[in-house]
Amino acid sequence: MQTTGNTILITGGNSGIGQGLAAAFHGLGNTVIITGRNQATLDKTVAAHAGMKGVVLDVSDGADITRVAAELIQEYPALNAVIHNAGIMQEEDLKTGETNTAEAHITTNLLGPIRLNSALLPHLLKQPSATVMTVSSGLAFVPLSLGPTYSATKAAIHSYTQAMRYQLADTSVQVIELVPPYVQTTLQGERQANDPHAMPLDGFIAETMEILTRQPDVKEVLVERVHPQRFAEKSGEYDAFFQRMNDMLVAARKG
């Protein structure tokens, strides 16, 4: 991916990783459009970055995706990149038998990117050079017991991204997967934002942008912090990593 000269759509760009990426790409002179469900936080983010655009979008709503995608293509004909960052993460107790939380995760974290891709790909395929970036997670490779459906949606995003990359190999669309580790964001509230076990957001964004700049043909963006999790199976450390990570985070919640 070229890091300059793009018109980039970033979902969930009003907080966390999406907001950090939006600021970084905007700082490099790209045209950046961010989406989110909250108009107030969109306005605050846009106000801090002159020229950035904000659009209200609920990625769990298929009709909203169709409408907003059509409007964006009309307003920004040079649109050539999308970063599928929007998502939710809530803990689940599988013993309760409740499924609303699981369904919300699947609709937002998995169907959202799939639907938006379907709406934007015909346009992106017409561009001389285009990029689709999905955001999975280290939890796609070693799941969190407290977030079973979240982890499952991210594993599905990884699989979907690989299949998409193969299908689009003979086109002008580059497919990249960003695989964050545990990062200090408000995805799970202020506890995560201040958790010393999580990677500082600024450091994650800086290392991510360095990788994208240094490796324009990269397929997976992997900061050093996520390598043990991403390659746990390959290294033979999967069982030990799974146990250690889950024991630590369950104990932290109890504490």
| Structural domain count, the chain | 1
* pLDDT lower than 70: segments of the chain: 255
In a domain, 196, yes or no: yes
In a domain, 233, yes or no: no
pLDDT at 255: 66
- Amino acid of residue 179: V
In a domain, 255, yes or no: no
In a domain, 251, yes or no: no
Sheet hosting strand 130-135, strand order edge to edge: 53-56, 31-36, 7-11, 81-84, 130-135, 173-178, 220-221
In a domain, 246, yes or no: no
In a domain, 235, yes or no: no
In a domain, 242, yes or no: no
Q: Write down the catalytic residue from 76, 150, 182, 238.
A: 150
pLDDT tens digits, one per residue of 80-106: 999 999 999 999 999 999 999 999 999
Active site residue 166: no
pLDDT at 244: 95
pLDDT at 206: 98
Q: Please list the residues that pair with 54 across neighbouring strands.
A: 34
Cα–Cα dist 32/12, whole Å: 12
Indicate left, alpha or beta for 162 from its phi (over 0: left) and psi (-120 to 50: alpha).
alpha
Tokens of 97: 């038998």
C-alpha distance from residue 136 to each of 31, 101, 110 (Å): 24, 19, 10
Whether 17 and 25 have beta carbons less than 8 Å apart is answered as: no
Q: In terms of residue numbers, what domain contains 125?
A: 7-225
Tell me, what CATH number does 114's domain have? 3.40.50.720
Q: What is the pTM of this model?
A: 0.96
pLDDT tens digits, one per residue of 10-31: 999 999 999 999 999 999 999 9
In a domain, 73, yes or no: yes
Nearest Cα to 59, choosing from 85, 23, 89?
Answer: 85
